[in-house]
Amino acid sequence: MHATIATLLSGLLIASAQQQPIPRGAFKFETTTQLVVVNVGVKDKGGKPVEGLKASDFTITEDGKPQKISVFEFQRLEEPVAVPAERKLIQRGTESAPKAAPAAQPAAPAQIAPSKPGEIRYRDRRLLVMFFDLTSMPASDQIRAQKAALKFLDSQMTASDMMAVMTFSSDLKVLQDFTNDRDALIRTIKGINIGEGSDMAVNGATSGDETAADTGDAYTADDTEFNIFNTDRKLAAIETASRMLSSLPEKKALIYFASGMTKTGVDNEAQMRATVNAAIRSNVSLYPIDARGLVAQAPLGDATKASPGGQGMYSGSAARTTMTNLQDQQESLYTLAADTGGKALLDENDLSLGIQQAQKDIASYYILGYYSTNQNMDGRYRRIKVQLTNKSLSAKLDYRSGYFASKQFRDFNSTDRERQLQEALMLGDPVTDLPIAMEVAHFRLARDRYFVPLTVKIPGSELELAKHGGAERARLDFIGQVKDAKGSVVATVRDDIDVKLKGENAGQLSKRNLQYDTGFTLQPGAYTVKFLARENATGKMGTFEMKFKVPDLTNERNYLPISSVVLSNQRESLKAAVATVERDKKLLQANPLVQDGEKLVPSVTRVFRTDQEMYVYVEAYQPTAQSTEPLVASVSFFRGKQKAFETQPLQVTEGLNPKTKAVPIRFSLSLSKLTPGRYTCQVSVLDPTARKFAFWRAPVVVIPKPAA
**pLDDT tens for each residue of 72-97:** 989 888 776 544 444 333 333 434 44
Distance between CA atoms of 315 and 307, rounded to whole angstroms? 15
Following DSSP, what letter does each residue of 378-401 receive, concatenated? B--EEEEEEEES-TT---EEE---
Least confident range from 29-33, 300-304, 604-608: namely 29-33
Identify the pLDDT of residue 587. 64
What pLDDT is stored for residue 416 in this prediction? 64
pLDDT at 6: 29
Lowest average pLDDT, out of 91-95, 309-313, 462-466, 485-489, goes to 91-95
pLDDT in tens, 434-465: 888 889 999 999 888 999 999 998 887 777 76
Q: CA 295 → CA 77, 204, 330, 349, distances in Å? A: 35, 12, 12, 9
Q: Which of 388-397, 422-431, 669-678 has the lowest mean pLDDT?
A: 422-431
Measure the CA–CA gap between 491 and 487, rounded to whole angstroms.
Answer: 12
Domain 112-351 fold = Rossmann fold (3.40.50)
Domains 112-351 and 412-553 share a fold: no
Type of residue numbered 70: S
3-state DSSP assignment of residue 569: strand
Dihedral, 233, 235, 241, 243 alpha carbons, nearest 10: -110
Contact yes or no for 654/696 (Cβ under 8 A)? no
299: confidence class by pLDDT, cuts 50, 70, 90? low
Q: What is the per-residue pLDDT for 489?
A: 94
Cβ partners under 8 Å of residue 301, min gap 6: 205, 211, 213, 307, 308
527 or 534: which carries more pLDDT confidence? 527
> Mean pLDDT over residues 518-532, rounded?
93
CA distance 237 to 527: 28
Does position 331 have pLDDT exceeding 90, yes or no?
A: no
Side chain identity at residue 88, one-letter code: K
Angle between the N-to-C axes of helices 232-244 and 269-281, in degrees from 0 to 180, rounded to the nearest 10: 10
Higher pLDDT, 127 or 331: 127
In the prediction, which pLDDT does 531 show? 92
pLDDT in tens, 187-238: 999 999 887 766 555 544 334 444 444 333 333 333 356 655 567 788 888 9
- Average pLDDT on 595-621 reads 89
As a whole number, the mean pLDDT across the chain is: 78
pLDDT digits (tens, 9 = 90+) for 533-544: 988 777 788 899
> CA angle at residue 301 from 296 to 305, to 5 degrees?
125
Higher pLDDT, 5 or 293: 293
Following CA atoms 309, 315, 319, 324 in sequence, which dihedral angle do they give, to the nearest 10 degrees?
-110
Are 6 and 361 spatial neighbours (Cβ–Cβ below 8 Å)?
A: yes
Query: 139-155 vs 85-92: helix axis angle to the nearest 10?
Result: 80
Taking the CA atoms of 360, 361, 365 and 370 in sequence, report the sign of the dihedral they define: negative
Give the Cα separation of 191 and 271 in Å (integer): 31
Q: Kindly give, in sequence order, each residue whose CB lies less than 8 Å from that of residue 512, ignoring residues fewer than 6 positions away.
A: 460
Q: pTM of whole model > 0.85?
A: no
Task: Give me the pLDDT at residue 363, please.
Answer: 85
Read off the pLDDT of each residue in 48-57 and give the average, rounded to a whole number: 90
How far apart, in whole angstroms, are the C-alpha atoms of residue 345 and residue 153? Answer: 18
* 443-446 and 513-522 beta bridge pairing: unpaired
Residue 167 confidence (pLDDT): 93
pLDDT at 655 over 60: yes
More confident residue, 643 or 198: 643
pLDDT grade for 284, boundaries at 50, 70 and 90: very high
The confidence band for 624, taking pLDDT boundaries of 50, 70 and 90, is confident
* pLDDT for res 226: 60
Give the DSSP per-residue string, 307-367: ---STHHHHSHHHHHHHHHHHHHHHHHHHHHHHHT---B-S-S-THHHHHHHHHH--SEEE
Superfamily covering domain 412-553: Immunoglobulins (2.60.40.10)
Q: What pLDDT was estimated at residue 23?
A: 43
Looking at residue 652, its pLDDT comes to 93
Cα 44 to Cα 47, 76, 393, distances in angstroms: 5, 16, 9
Residues in Cβ contact with 363 at an 8 Å cutoff, skipping those fewer than 6 apart: 7, 8, 41, 43, 49, 77, 79
Quick one: pLDDT at residue 174?
92
Q: Where along the chain do its domains lie?
A: 1-76+364-408, 112-351, 412-553
Question: Which amino acid, one-letter code, is at 75?
Answer: Q
pLDDT attached to residue 106:
45
